[in-house]
Chain A
């Protein structure tokens, strides 16, 4: 338990840094010390031994600044997670560095003095004691710059992958959509019904054909849309239900009670239709056992509920449609698609999206 928690934490840390920086720190501390010594203290040291002592003496300072800067950045990145807050984050860290780092440097200096005295070791000073604040700032901002650059690159890469994934999902769901939504069985069944209607009632046949073409036009026009107003989908569902009711007559009852105020919310196109199709496909629809599908809004979600009377036959491609809806919703909202099955009802609630 503890182990997983620890692993999660370190994983989380990598996410906020952008990479595993253990080796970066181990290599970076001596390198920055060397670099700073070259830049600021090389003229005040007269031998290479002095210079080496200067580099080594700088390392505790570099290490301390590194740890503090890294900690602050991690903290701020967690607090201001989004890209829009980058400016606020950078200003905050700059202010922290400007105010706190000289103080920390001073403290460490005193501590080292104290320790050196304990062991009778003579610390070297780089002559220009008063100038120490400049290398401090330099070191800190240098660290920030490197970390920010890597983090920025990481975020960029991340967002490109995410977009790529989203595109992939979209293509996949379009394909699955084509497979599911323009279900060949639906067309086949409709044609069959139409054939019978033509013989009996030409007026109705024309009406039926008109609705059928309306359904297919909607599918063709909107299957590439990401979201669509509920009003449009419901309008289409009415046509779809008309066709299905010609097939099942009174054995299929559909009650749609959605308040006008909800109609401008959005849903994923054809999601309602998939749910209707599932209900019709998986349940007995007979005179003795009519199927009732209800649509209503509850707790900000669009609920599709039907009485559960499963057909005994095992149906293929079960859950593909439902999974498809769930996956597509993940791109638009944190809220989940809820599926509930009781003895009496099968209920699916899909989030209503605010455009």
Chain B
């Protein structure tokens, strides 16, 4: 199972990836990205992963804008402390 993590905070990345690895040991975390720009870039140039974990508040804006710039064909789980 190939997973992409989009999350801008180091500790949150770590917690999330450890948690995923613990639950699904055979998982492969393809990449951890921290900005809209990088994510769009990555999604354009790679085949769709099986699952995307996505924070909402990223380093350069809201992750929602990723969907406006690139077609995302993977299921997405939002992981956020964002309250709105």
Instruction: Show the binding face of A for B, using Cβ within 8 Å.
Output: 188, 192-193, 196-197, 199-200, 246-249, 251, 284-289, 311-313
Contacts and interface: CB of A to CB of B under 8 A. Distances in A.
Given A192-B81, A247-B10, A287 B34 contact: yes
Contact of B62 (A200, A287, A313): A313
29 contacts: A192-B12, A192-B81, A193-B9, A193-B11, A196-B11, A196-B12, A200-B15, A246-B10, A248-B9, A248-B10, A249-B10, A251-B34, A284-B59, A284-B60, A285-B8, A286-B8, A286-B34, A286-B59, A286-B60, A287-B34, A287-B38, A288-B37, A288-B38, A289-B35, A289-B37, A289-B59, A311-B61, A312-B60, A313-B62
Interface in B15-45: 15, 18, 34-35, 37-38
B14 interface: yes
B68 to A, nearest CB: 12
A197 B11 CA distance: 6
Contacts of B35: 284, 286-289
A153 B16 CA distance: 71
Given A285-B59, A286-B60, A311-B61, A196 B14 contact: yes
Contacts of B9: 192-193, 196, 247-248
Contacts of A284: 35, 59-60
Nearest to B32: A287
A192 B80 CA distance: 10
A288 B59 CA distance: 10
Interface residues of B, number: 18
A193 B35 CA distance: 18
Contacts, number: 58
Given A251-B59, A284-B59, 17 more contacts: A192-B9, A192-B12, A193-B9, A196-B11, A196-B12, A200-B11, A200-B18, A246-B11, A248-B9, A285-B8, A285-B59, A286-B34, A286-B37, A289-B35, A289-B60, A311-B60, A312-B61
A271 to B, nearest CB: 26
A209 to B, nearest CB: 14
A199 B15 contact: yes
Interface in B30-84: 34-35, 37-38, 58-62, 81
Nearest to B16: A196
B32 to A, nearest CB: 9
A248 B12 CA distance: 11
A251 B33 CA distance: 12
Contacts of A196: 9, 11-12, 14-15
Contacts of B10: 246-249
Q: 5 smallest A-B Cβ distances: which pairs? A: A196-B11, A286-B59, A286-B35, A249-B10, A284-B60
Nearest to A250: B10
Most buried by B among A197, A246, A285, A286: A286
B11 A313 contact: no
A242 B37 CA distance: 27
Nearest to B8: A286
Contacts of A199: 15, 18
A12 to B, nearest CB: 53
A185 to B, nearest CB: 10
A250 B9 CA distance: 11
